[in-house]
Amino acid sequence: MSKANSEMQSLEHELHDSPKEEKENELRKEIHVLDKGDNLSSPNVFQNLKDKQSVVTKERDKLMIEMEDQHKRMEFLQKNCQDELSKAKVHIEELNWKLSDMEAKMPVGGLKNNKEMAKLRMRLRGTQAKLDSFRCRYKEAIDESVLTNKKYKDQLASKGLEVLNLMKQLAAAKGQ
């Protein structure tokens, strides 16, 4: 679990890196420069670039929202799996305690205790299998969430570059 947390922290750190802030500042400066005047050679070119920028910005916002939703889903799955794991561990401890208690009383009621001990061993094995399946599902959920977050970050980076290129085109068109 600490590995998953460290991966999430590194991904969050990547989101808040200073190069991203620098790119945002550059984009803001370019937008400010572009908004100052409307002396483009063709108003249609300017409007098309503005429309493209709007679409890409909306897509980027949508991806950011989806990424937040995935992060919340991952946190919910983590909590749920942790609850299931702790319940299973408590159950295993109870069964181990009962088993050791039964073994201590073994000489008193030999045959009856043997049957009960066999039942408890079977329950313990079943509970161990449940614990293993919870652990496996938890790991799969974390892996899926990490993969999804990476996918959304890649899409977000792609859209950001597209916005930057559109802004450069807009600046170049305005400069003509």
Other beta carbons within 10 angstroms of residue 87's beta carbon come to: 14
Q: Does the CA dihedral 33-38-40-43 come out positive or negative?
A: positive
pLDDT value, residue 99: 85
Say what the pLDDT of residue 1 is: 45
With beta carbons less than 8 A apart as the criterion, state whether 27 and 167 touch: yes
Q: What are phi and psi of 41, to 5 degrees?
A: -65, -35
> Mean pLDDT, to the nearest integer, of 142-171?
93
Amino acid symbol at 134: F
3-state secondary structure of 106: coil
Mean pLDDT is lowest, of 3-17, 85-99, 125-139, 161-175, for: 3-17
Which alpha helices (DSSP H) does 2-109 contain, by range?
Answer: 2-15, 18-36, 43-104
Taking CA atoms, 43 is separated from 24, 40, 107, in Å, by 26, 6, 97
Average pLDDT over the chain, rounded to an integer:
80
pTM: 0.37
Is the per-residue pLDDT at 46 higher than 50? yes
Domains of the chain: 2-175 (1.20.1270)
Judged against a pLDDT cut of 50, whether residue 50 lies above it is answered with yes
pLDDT tens string 86-138: 999 999 999 889 888 877 776 655 666 778 888 888 888 888 888 899 999 99
Over residues 34-53, the mean pLDDT reads 71
Question: Stretch 168-173: mean pLDDT, rounded?
Answer: 91
Share of the chain above pLDDT 90, in %: 38
In 3D space, the residue among 147, 32, 25, 134 whose CA is nearest the CA of residue 89 turns out to be 134
Q: How far apart are CA 133 and CA 140, in angstroms?
A: 10
- Digit-coded pLDDT (tens) for 65-80: 999 999 999 999 999 9
Question: Which DSSP state fits 121?
Answer: H
